Amino acid sequence: MANENLQERQETVAPAIELVGISKAFGPVQANKDISLSVARGSIHGIVGENGAGKSTLMSILYGFYKADAGEVFIGGVKTRIPDSSAAIAAGIGMVHQHFKLVENFTVLENVILGMEDGGLLKPSLAKARKLLKELSDEYELSVDPDALVENLSVGHQQRVEILKALYRQADILILDEPTGVLTPAEADHLFRILVGLRDQGKTIILITHKLREIMEVTDTVSVMRRGEMTATVKTKDTSPEQLAELMVGRKVLLQIDKKPATPGAPILEIENLQVVDDKGVERVKGVSLEVRAGEILGIAGVSGNGQTELLEVLGGYQKATGIIRVNGEEIDLTGKYSDGQSRRHRGIAHVPEDRQSEGLIMDFMAWENAIFGYHNEPAYNKNALMMDNLAIRAETEAKMERFDVRPPNPKLEAKNFSGGNQQKIVLAREIERNPDLLLVGQPTRGVDIGAIEFIHQQIVELRDQGKAILLVSVELEEILSLSDRIIVMFDGHIMGERDPANTDEKELGMLMAGMETDGGAA
C-alpha cells in the first residue's frame, strides 16, 4: 500500500511528530522511559505493546492529558509545549478515543461543531460544518447522515463522527486508540480504507492497537513498546507478526495453538428456544437453541451486543430468561429461587465472565478473597456456620497461584494490583480448579498480554481434553477460529449459522456477524 517514492521524499522534510527523551512516572511506576520516536508526515505509524506497556501514557502526553517528567515534543519540526488538549488541537493533533466522547442525543452535525461554534448563533457554524462534512465524506468514504442522532448510529458510524470531529478541527495528525475493538471485520476494513485515504492526502496517522494483523495490513512503520520503553521501530514490510510478538513479550511466542481433534461425548448443555428480555424491556436473545457436548469447545462469534453477553448471564445465573436449558440432561430453573449463581455452581457450571474487572473479580479484594469468589459458601472454605477459614483459603490460593503462574504469587495483593493477564489467571484458576462439567468462557483474553494468552488458551484446551464441555464467547475471530471445535455466529439475538472452523475463514464469519447470509451452511 505504501508509496515508496513518496515516502522517501518525505523523509527529507521535517517529521510530523518527533518525540525526544520522553519520560513519565506515576509514583514508583515508570510508565514511559526515555522514549524517542519520529513519525514521517503522510504515513501510518503503528504502536503495539502489551497492556501497561505505556502506549496510552505516551499518547496522553502527546494529547496534553499528562505532563511529561522529561523530554521534548516537536510538531512539524517546531518544538511545542502541550499543556492541555486544546493546545494539542491547536497544534493540529486529533484523537479518536477507544471510548467515544460523543453527546448521544445530539445530531452528528451538533457533535462535530461542539466546542467549536463560531459565535452565539449555531446556524452559521452548522452550515459550515455541513459543507465540510459533505466534502469529507466524498473524499474519504466518511459518509454519515449529518442530521442523524448519534444514539441511532452504529458503532462504526459513531467512530466516523469522531474522525470527522478531529478533521473539522483541522487535525493533521490523527491518533486512534484501539479503534477496531468494537468493529466488525467489515467495518474495520472500511476504517482502514478511510485511514489510507487520509494518509494519501498527507495526514499523519498513529494507530495504537494490540492486533498484529491490523499492524501488518495498514501501517507503514511500527514501533513496539515494552515496560515503558520503546524496544524497536521498524518498517512494516520488513517485519513479521512473529517478530513483533517476540519484541512485545521479550521471548518467543506461539501464536497458533496445538490441539488434537475433539472427541465429543454426550451433550452436557442443551438450550432450546431461549429468549431474554433485559431490564429495559429490550429483547436481547430471540429464540436461541444450541448444544455443547463433553470434550468440545463451542465458539460463539459475534460483535459484542448481539446477545452473547445475555446468553452467558443466563447460564451464569444472573439474568432471567424463558425457554429450556438442560445441564447433564436435567432442566434448570430459569426464573425462580434456583436461578441464581449459587445454584448454577452446584450444577457444575463454572463461569469465566466477559468482564473480569466488574464481574469476575472484586478489584479491591485481595487475591485470596477473589480466589473463592462465588464458592465462598463451600464447607472447605469455612470453619463453622459463621466463620470463614481464612488461613486455609490463603494456603490454597498460594498453591493455585503457583500452578497458574500468577505473578506476583502473593495472595495478599489486591486484584487491582495485578496485570490483566494475571487477573484473568486468578479467575481461570478459580473456575477451572472446580473441575466443572461445563465451563463458560467470555472474552478470555481481552486486555491480556500475549504471553498470558498462550497460557490461557492451553488451559482451556486441556480442560476440553479432560472431557469437559466448553462454551466460548469471544469477539476476537482469531481466537474463535483457533480454539473452537464448532463455531456459531450470533447476530441481533439470533444464531446466524454454524460453521466448521476448518472450512471457514474470517471473511465468511465477518459477513455472518454483520447479519448477512452466506452459502456455507451447517458443517
Partner 1 sequence: MDKMPKWADVVLIPLISLCLALIVSGFVVLAIGEDPIRAISIMVNGALSSTNKIGYTLYYATNYMFTGLAVAVAFHARMFNIGGEGQAAISGVGVAVVLLAFDWPHWTIALPFAILGGGLFGAIWAAIPAYLQARRDSHIVITTIMFNYIAAAMMGFLLNGILKNPNSQVAESVNFPAGAHLPTIHEMLAPLGIGFSKSAPANVSFLLALFCAWLVWFLLWRTRLGYAIRAFGHSPHAASYAGISAFKITMIAMIISGALAGMLSINVVMGEQERLIQFFVEGAGFVGIAVALMGRNHPIGIILAALLFGMLAQGGFELQFEYPEISKEMVLVIQGTIILFTGALDYMVRKPVEKIFARLREGQS
Determine contact, residues 381/435, Cβ cutoff 8 Å.
Answer: no
Helix (H, G, I), strand (E, B) or coil at 374: coil
Q: How far is CA 144 from the centre of its chain?
A: 25
Binding test (CB under 8 A) with partner 1, winner from 86, 105, 143, 390: 390
Q: Which stretch binds partner 1 (CB under 8 A): 69-77, 172-180, 258-266, 341-349?
A: 341-349
Verify binding: residue 343, partner 1, rule CB under 8 A. Answer: yes
Pairing state between β 349-352 and 438-442: parallel
Pairing state between β 70-75 and 17-26: antiparallel
Binding test (CB under 8 A) with partner 1, winner from 5, 83, 99, 386: 386
Binding test (CB under 8 A) with partner 1, winner from 85, 106, 365, 433: 365
Binding test (CB under 8 A) with partner 1, winner from 45, 169, 210, 344: 344
Binding test (CB under 8 A) with partner 1, winner from 148, 267, 318, 348: 318
* Rounded Cα gap, residues 302 and 516, in angstroms: 12
Verify binding: residue 364, partner 1, rule CB under 8 A. Answer: yes
Binding test (CB under 8 A) with partner 1, winner from 87, 155, 232, 388: 388
Q: How far is the CB of 261 from partner 1 (least distance, A)?
A: 33
Verify binding: residue 502, partner 1, rule CB under 8 A. Answer: no
Verify binding: residue 18, partner 1, rule CB under 8 A. Answer: no
Which residue, 28 or 329, is less far from partner 1 as judged by CB?
Answer: 28
Q: How far is the CB of 387 from partner 1 (least distance, A)?
A: 5
Output the nine-digit C-alpha cell for 221: 512503520
Residues 25-84 that bind partner 1 (CB under 8 A): 25, 27-28
Give the CA distances from residue 44 to residues 41, 194, 201, 268, 327, in Å, rounded to whole numbers and listed in that order: 9, 12, 12, 48, 50
Binding track over 278-297 against partner 1, x by CB under 8 A = --------------------
Q: How far is the CB of 339 from partner 1 (least distance, A)?
A: 10
Cα angle value 395/399/402 (rounded, 5°): 140
H or E element in which residue 180 lies: none
Say which DSSP state 302 is in.
-
Binding test (CB under 8 A) with partner 1, winner from 382, 458, 482, 518: 382
* Rounded Cα gap, residues 336 and 342, in angstroms: 13
Partners of 324 in the β-ladder = 272
**Which residues in 468-500 are b (16+ Cβ under 10 Å) and which e?**
bbbbbbbbbbbbbbbbbbbbbbbbebebbbbbe
Closest residue by Cα to residue 495 from 275, 335, 186: 275
Provide the terminal-to-terminal Cα distance of the chain, rounded to the nearest Å: 36
Verify binding: residue 373, partner 1, rule CB under 8 A. Answer: yes
Verify binding: residue 234, partner 1, rule CB under 8 A. Answer: no
Which residue, 228 or 497, is less far from partner 1 as judged by CB?
Answer: 228
Which residue, 7 or 419, is less far from partner 1 as judged by CB?
Answer: 419
Verify binding: residue 360, partner 1, rule CB under 8 A. Answer: yes
Verify binding: residue 358, partner 1, rule CB under 8 A. Answer: yes
Which residue, 305 or 467, is less far from partner 1 as judged by CB?
Answer: 305
Binding test (CB under 8 A) with partner 1, winner from 87, 116, 155, 362: 362
Determine contact, residues 28/70, Cβ cutoff 8 Å.
Answer: no
Which residue, 95 or 352, is less far from partner 1 as judged by CB?
Answer: 352
Q: How many residues bind partner 1 (CB under 8 A)?
A: 35
Whole-number CA gyration radius for the chain = 25
The residue with cell 466463620 is 387
Closest residue by Cα to residue 75 from 94, 95, 57, 91: 91
Helix (H, G, I), strand (E, B) or coil at 223: strand
Partners of 498 in the β-ladder = 488
Q: How far is the CB of 263 from partner 1 (least distance, A)?
A: 31
* DSSP per-residue codes, 69-107: SEEEEEETTEE----SHHHHHHTTEEEE-SS----TTSB
Backbone φ, ψ for residue 383 (5° rounding): -75, -45
Verify binding: residue 345, partner 1, rule CB under 8 A. Answer: yes
Verify binding: residue 359, partner 1, rule CB under 8 A. Answer: yes
Q: How far is the CB of 477 from partner 1 (least distance, A)?
A: 26
Which residue, 243 or 410, is less far from partner 1 as judged by CB?
Answer: 410
Binding test (CB under 8 A) with partner 1, winner from 46, 295, 316, 447: 316
Binding test (CB under 8 A) with partner 1, winner from 341, 409, 515, 520: 341
Backbone φ, ψ for residue 115 (5° rounding): 85, -5
Verify binding: residue 387, partner 1, rule CB under 8 A. Answer: yes
Which residue, 2 or 366, is less far from partner 1 as judged by CB?
Answer: 366
Binding test (CB under 8 A) with partner 1, winner from 353, 436, 447, 501: 353
- Provide the binding-site residues for partner 1, judged by CB under 8 A: 25, 27-28, 316-318, 340-345, 351, 353, 358-365, 369, 373-374, 376-377, 382, 386-388, 390, 413-414, 417
